[in-house]
Amino acid sequence: MNNPKEQFSLIYDQYIEKIYRFVYVKVNSREVAEDVTSKVFLNGWQAYQKNQDIKNPGAFLYQIARNAVVDHYREKGRTKVTYVEDLFYTPDTAKNPYEKAIVNADAELTISALGNLKKEYQDVLIWYYLEDMSTEQIAVLANKSIGNVRVMIHRGLEALRNEIKEQV
């Protein structure tokens, strides 16, 4: 497959949901996440046209996404709107409305606490727990050693727990 459009189309299909979810956790708004994700792939396509020898498309797109989120917050101070149901897909195993409310409240609390962590902890925790990436994959994305990523996951999770305790 020598056609750059087809090649990038495959990359797009593989990463669109992951990049959207990553951006959404950072901006907490459907509309903003859609806009930022569009910019990520537009910038990715433009860069890909110039250099198709990208060794790790995931790391390439996540770096663009991180920069796009930073740009978003630089451009405007925005209020955060959270739609928890879009972030976490959980099978509807709750037996009654009370159980559903508890699940949603827990997810909202976790998202709120995650937003108060250092950016590097947010990224690592999102990749590890939401994207189900290995420490090796995260090390490549974050440009860190595997050992450093493991420590960041541990410290990030500890910080998240402490943040949740403070909010409760």
List, in order of start, the domains of the chain with CATH numbers: 1-83 (1.10.1740), 93-168 (1.10.10.10)
**pLDDT confidence of residue 147:** 93
Q: Cα 18 to chain center, whole Å?
A: 7
Q: Name the H helices within 116-145.
A: 119-125, 135-142
Question: What pLDDT band is residue 44 in, cutting at 50, 70 and 90?
Answer: very high
Count CB atoms within 10 A of the CB of residue 83: 13
**pLDDT confidence of residue 105:** 61
- Range 103-130 average pLDDT: 79
Question: What pLDDT band is residue 87 in, cutting at 50, 70 and 90?
Answer: very low
Helices (H) and strands (E) in the chain, counts: 8, 0
* Residue 63: both structure tokens together: 């770096």
Q: Report the share of the chain in percent with pLDDT over 70.
A: 80
Separation between Cα atoms, residue 26 and residue 68, nearest integer Å: 11
**pLDDT confidence of residue 3:** 85
In the chain, the N- to C-terminal Cα span, in Å, equals 54
